[in-house]
Amino acid sequence: NAGVMQNPRHLVRRRGQEARLRCSPMKGHSHVYWYRQLPEEGLKFMVYLQKENIIDESGMPKERFSAEFPKEGPSILRIQQVVRGDSAAYFCASSPARNTEAFFGQGTRLTVV
């Protein structure tokens, strides 16, 4: 049973480009969470999704950021028109149910140049 898989591990984008970050949850897990870790800051919740539904996106910036978790395939965090301030580590976690232990992926480190 593979763990939570995130790809790519490292992503470099120029200002104005789009970044797409992927997260494949553990087998049997239908709850996915995205967190962001800005340089020199702690982790912050971004969004909570179940299959085909966004449950809580209260931590998502209002513009340029979106997330989805389709019926088939991985969860995607999409950042349009990236800016330098988007440079961060983005972590995904999954759990089998709403309030059970979540397992984290290795993260995607986004660098905007």
Partner 1 sequence: KNEVEQSPQNLTAQEGEFITINCSYSVGISALHWLQQHPGGGIVSLFMLSSGKKKHGRLIATINIQEKHSSLHITASHPRDSAVYICAVNREGYGGATNKLIFGTGTLLAVQP
Q: Which residues bind partner 1 (CB under 8 A)?
A: 31, 33, 35, 41-45, 48, 55-56, 58-59, 91, 93, 95, 98-99, 101-107, 109
Nearer to partner 1, 17 or 108 (CB): 108
Q: Tell me the C-alpha distance between 32 and 67, whole Å.
A: 10
Nearer to partner 1, 4 or 19 (CB): 4
Q: Tell me the C-alpha distance between 113 and 102, whole Å.
A: 32
Least distance between partner 1 and beta carbon 32 (Å): 10
Structure tokens at 57: 């996106």
Q: Which of 27, 85, 41, 75 is nearest to 55 (CA)?
A: 75
Nearer to partner 1, 53 or 80 (CB): 53
Least distance between partner 1 and beta carbon 45 (Å): 5
Least distance between partner 1 and beta carbon 41 (Å): 8
Q: Hey, how many other C-beta atoms are within 10 angstroms of the C-beta on 87?
A: 16
In a 3-state reduction of DSSP, which class is residue 41? coil
Residue 42 phi/psi, 5-degree rounding, is -80, 175
Nearer to partner 1, 69 or 91 (CB): 91
